[in-house]
Homo-oligomer: A and B are copies of this chain.
């Protein structure tokens, strides 16, 4: 892969630096998503995996391990395990949210059915654990088992507080730490663990992943409001699903009586008309909720980069810092 490094996006630069490892990840994914007994499994998995997610999480594992000097091959297993856990949660999320589109394509639950999505997700989760058990690091298993529990907790919490106008910023942070940051931080921390990082380095890697994941999800939630209708995203989905994202929580906190009625009808009761998406955006903007949310994401990016400072200098470390900046600057 030849890249104009100065102009390429941080994500692509990282992919180029990890090119050989990523190819091995791709091969192992193919190998382990197979099921002789039930060909539906690789079909459903391939549908999602071929749609070309950004492979962000596997790259975090690879970058953390390589940057800390890892020379073995377990990082490939670990990267695939993390991607499988992520894919499993996407399959289950699409069932839970009754989603029709993901990455610009119809979702698996729409193409096949909810049952296949639930069961293939379970299969991938089990395969992830098999992958981690093979080379045998109990510390890594511990980190990923904890992350998996935290992910489900975050998702259940999100479900429970949906349409609840009294949800707090603290709850929001807990939800996104679970649904997104837990796997990011497990990926970077585990990458360090297999490379023999010191306790402080391991903690720095964990903090980087945690802060990056939180920033990433805050921006994802912002893009649902401010973004263009890019392929694979439907602006306003969160509003329709009654998700209490940070700008919504902040706008509700500053709402006058009329606005409160608007939030109660839309977020609270799920009565969302086409024009409400724009109205919601306008209200948030008027209260500065979008700017302050973007600033919040920026603060987490700063924390992510500060954590990296505690790690040895390395070209990959600089790429991870650029990646953090990009997470907030991105428009899709």
Contact = CB atoms under 8 A, between A and B. Distances in A.
A125 B155 CA distance: 14
A174 interface: yes
Given A37-B174, A178-B37, A156 B120 contact: yes
Nearest to A154: B37
A145 B122 contact: no
A228 interface: no
Interface in A20-69: 35, 37-41
A126 B155 contact: no
A47 to B, nearest CB: 14
Contact of A118 (B92, B146, B160): B92
Interface in A102-136: 114-116, 118-123, 125-127, 129-130, 133-134, 136
A203 interface: no
Interface string A175-201: 000100000000000000000000000
Given A41-B156, A160-B40, A126 B142 contact: no
A276 to B, nearest CB: 24
A159 B40 contact: yes
Interface string A215-232: 000000000000000000
B96 A156 contact: no
A306 interface: no
Nearest to A143: B133
A148 interface: yes
Which residue, of A95, A115, A151, has the highest number of chain B Cβ atoms within 10 A?
A115
Give the secondary structure class of A's interface.
Answer: helix
A141 B134 CA distance: 10
A119 B152 contact: yes
Size category, A interface:
35 or more
Interface string A131-174: 00110101001100110110111111101100000000000001
A151 B125 CA distance: 12
B123 A156 contact: yes
B127 A149 contact: yes
A48 to B, nearest CB: 15
A118 B92 CA distance: 7
A114 B114 contact: yes
22 contacts: A35-B153, A38-B153, A38-B157, A39-B160, A92-B122, A96-B115, A114-B114, A118-B118, A119-B156, A120-B152, A120-B156, A121-B122, A122-B125, A122-B151, A123-B149, A129-B129, A129-B141, A129-B145, A129-B148, A130-B142, A130-B146, A136-B138
